[in-house]
Amino acid sequence: MTKEVVIVSGAAGGIGRAVAERLARLDTHRLVLCDIDRKGLDEVIEGLPAAGHQSFTVDVGSEASVRNLFLELKNQGIQASALANCFGISPVADNGDRISLEQTSLDLWNRVFQVNSTGIFLMCQAFLQQENIKNPEQPKRLVNVSSAAAQLGGYRSCPAYIASKASVIALTKSIARDYAEDGVLANSVCPGLIDTQMFRQGNPADNVASRVPLGRLGEGDDVAGAIEFLLSPLASYITGASIDVNGGYRMA
């Protein structure tokens, strides 16, 4: 059986790693994992239950780096049919406090957008520019990780993070509409309070769970479950959607 090739970016992070582990357990996917963290990637690859997966060091905010990834895949005769973008940065002050708008330098603003927004654009663009990608008879699936902060305005995330993650939702809807006739399904996932390293850098987790109706922080695997579903044939009539994974933290 030919395995579907799925690119997972941000694969060394909490959510990306959980996605890689879930898909690897299915043993129906050949994974292409990428992240700027080489050491983290190696740890993820070594822990996967099946062989045959690949990993690449990629700076998603660099056009050249993203192009090199897809060129290497093309040279190997590999075409991905699914993409899960799971990366993001959310800076905090040196003391762990939230950075307000008035404290946000232009350099910080641009740095966050370069990863969180431009990185999504570059990865999606390169994915859609693959040869023979536009084939309604062979659906392609794309999932971008946004954030509940983009929907709520956030209470702890910096404004640059909130705004950049809001752009992810809008871009995903644009892709869903523009490429629907080509068989491309594009959706976003909006995690709430997920217990990852990025979350803990500015937030002791102890008292935060009380804000969640389900009474606990989410795990990376909670988000990975939603992404697995959106990448599966079960989601063949879903596109342009933003799926909340937040334990009831936000109820639309």
- pLDDT digits over 26-83, tens only? 989 999 999 999 999 999 999 998 778 999 999 999 999 999 999 999 999 999 999 9
- Distance of alpha carbon 194 from alpha carbon 184, whole angstroms: 28
170/152: higher pLDDT = 170
- Distance of alpha carbon 15 from alpha carbon 191, whole angstroms: 10
Work out the pLDDT band at 203, boundaries 50, 70, 90.
Answer: low
Beta carbons of 34 and 67 less than 8 angstroms apart:
no
- Distance of alpha carbon 46 from alpha carbon 54, whole angstroms: 11
Q: Which of 35, 30, 31 is nearest to 9 (CA)?
A: 35
Write out pLDDT tens, residues 9-38: 999 999 999 999 999 999 899 999 999 999
The catalytic site residues sit at 161
- Distance of alpha carbon 191 from alpha carbon 137, whole angstroms: 31
Catalogue all structural domains in the chain, each as residue range(s) with its CATH number.
4-245 (3.40.50.720)
Is it the case that residue 84 has pLDDT exceeding 80? yes
C-alpha 107 chain-centroid distance: 23
Work out the pLDDT band at 201, boundaries 50, 70, 90.
Answer: low
Cα distances from 143 to residues 78, 185, 248, in angstroms, run: 19, 8, 21
Q: What is the mean pLDDT of the chain?
A: 92
